[in-house]
Amino acid sequence: MLAQQLLNGVVVGAVYALFSLGLTLVFGMHRILNLAHGAVFMWGALIGYFAVTLAGLPLWAAFIVAVFGAGLVSVALELCVFRPLRRHQGDEFGTIVASIGANLILMQLAQQATNAQTLRFPFGIFPILFYDIAGLRVSLQQLVILGAVAVIVVALLAFLFKTSLGSEARAVAVDERTSMLLGVNPGKVYLTSFLIAGMLAGAAGVILGVAFNSVSYVMGDAVMLQAFVVIVLGGLGSVTGAVLAGILIGMIQTLTTAYISTELSDAVVFGLLFVVLLIRPDGFFAGLHTEYRVA
Partner 1 sequence: MKRSAILALGVASLLWAAAGSAGADEVVIAAQYPLSGPMASYSGPFLREGTEIAIQRINETQMLGKGRTLKVIIEDNAGDRNQAISLMNRFATSDNALAVLGVYGSYLSLPAAPVANELKIPFLAIAASPAIVQAGPWSFILIEQPNDSMKLLAQYAAERLHVKTAALVFDRANDASVRLKDSFAKYLKERGGSVVSEDGISAQDTNFAPIATKIASEKIDALFLESVPSVAGNFLVQVRQAGLSPDVKLLASGQVSSPVFRSIAGAAAEGILYPADYVADMSGEENKYFADEYRKRSHKDPDQNAAWAYTGMLLLAHAIHDAGPGADRAKVRDAMAKLTNVEVPLGAGKFSYDKDRMPNFDLIMLQVVKGVPQIVK
Residues in touch with partner 1 (CB under 8 A): 1, 4-5, 8-9, 11-12, 115-118, 120, 123-124, 128, 130, 137, 139, 208, 211-214, 216, 218-219, 222, 253-255, 257-258, 261-263
Closer to partner 1 by CB, 191 or 255: give it.
255
**How far apart are CB 215 and partner 1 at their closest, in Å?**
9
Q: How many residues belong to the chain?
A: 295
Q: What distance in Å separates the CA atoms of residue 6 and residue 38, rounded to the nearest whole number? A: 26
H or E segment and range at residue 258? helix 239-259
**How far apart are CB 233 and partner 1 at their closest, in Å?**
19
Closer to partner 1 by CB, 43 or 194: give it.
43
Q: What is the DSSP string of 188-254?
A: HHHHHHHHHHHHHHHHHHHHHHHHTT-B-TTHHHHHHHHHHHHHHHH-TTBHHHHHHHHHHHHHHHH
Closer to partner 1 by CB, 169 or 211: give it.
211
Closer to partner 1 by CB, 95 or 142: give it.
142
Interior angle at CA 19, CA 92 and CA 225, nearest 5: 65
Closer to partner 1 by CB, 53 or 213: give it.
213
Q: What is the DSSP string of 3-35?
A: HHHHHHHHHHHHHHHHHHHHHHHHHHHH----T
Q: What distance in Å separates the CA atoms of residue 24 and residue 31, rounded to the nearest whole number? A: 9
**How far apart are CB 261 and partner 1 at their closest, in Å?**
8
Closer to partner 1 by CB, 167 or 265: give it.
265
DSSP state of 50: H
Q: What distance in Å separates the CA atoms of residue 230 and residue 246, rounded to the nearest whole number? A: 5
